[in-house]
Amino acid sequence: MGYQSFGRALCVGTFAVGVLACASDSVEPSIRQVAALTDKYRDVNVAKREGYTTDNKCTTAEMLGFPKELGAMGLHYVRRDLLGLPPKPAPPGSGRVHGTGTYTNFKRPAMLVYEPQSDGTLKLVAVENLVFASAWQALGNHGPPIFHEQPYVLLVDKPDTKVDEAHGWEPHYELHVWREHNPNGQFSEFSPRVTCQYNKAPQPQPQAMNH
């Protein structure tokens, strides 16, 4: 089951967006449409007004155990309701982040990814959806969500490594759609053109990473 199967669930669930008809929710948007529909979030204040929040942690490839040369994801702003998360984060030490989200609608992504700039502003570089593996499989799915024939990436922590490949979350699928050219690919996890060097928040230890 891919994007289209979720679209049908969207019509009867709680995630219907604005005045979009149910029939249109089942149609996979083009990359250009995704860019156009999310262009308003270039102003991070618009994202904040719509309920997106951040933990101020900027994610790099190196933090998740990948070569530094791959670059970074960036700083995530998320809609906790679309991810099936509690309204507020659990206190530190409460275990891995667990949610019930199976939301895959890129017309209004659950996550927005920004690159901190040297002048203190934020540049919108990508959008993302994240689906918890247990919740997705509970719906009867036997493979990852798919967007434009691209399977979502499954992130699971490997206990025999020093870093936390799932950045503090339960096993989950995620997929980025980059708004500008990414030498690593349109749907890559990281971009070498993105850096976290100007992020104001101190970088956390790899095992403490979460969006």
SS (H, E, C) the chain: CCHHHHHHHHHHCCCCCCCCCHHHHCCCCCHHHHHHHHHHHHCHHHHHHCCCECCCCEEECHHHCCCHHHCEEEEEEECCCCCCCCCCCCCCCCCCECCCCCCCCCCCCCEEEEEECCCCCEEEEEEEEEEEHHHHHHCCCCCCCEECCEECEEECCCCCCCCCCCCCECCEEEEEEECCCCCCCCCCCCECCCCCCCCCCCCCCHHHCCC
Which pLDDT belongs to residue 25?
A: 54
Which pLDDT belongs to residue 131?
A: 97
Which pLDDT belongs to residue 207?
A: 44
pLDDT digits (tens, 9 = 90+) for 113-126: 999 999 999 999 99
Which pLDDT belongs to residue 201?
A: 64
Q: pLDDT under 70 in the chain at which residues? A: 1-26, 201-211
Which pLDDT belongs to residue 91?
A: 81
Which pLDDT belongs to residue 83?
A: 96
Which pLDDT belongs to residue 211?
A: 54
- pTM of model > 0.85: no
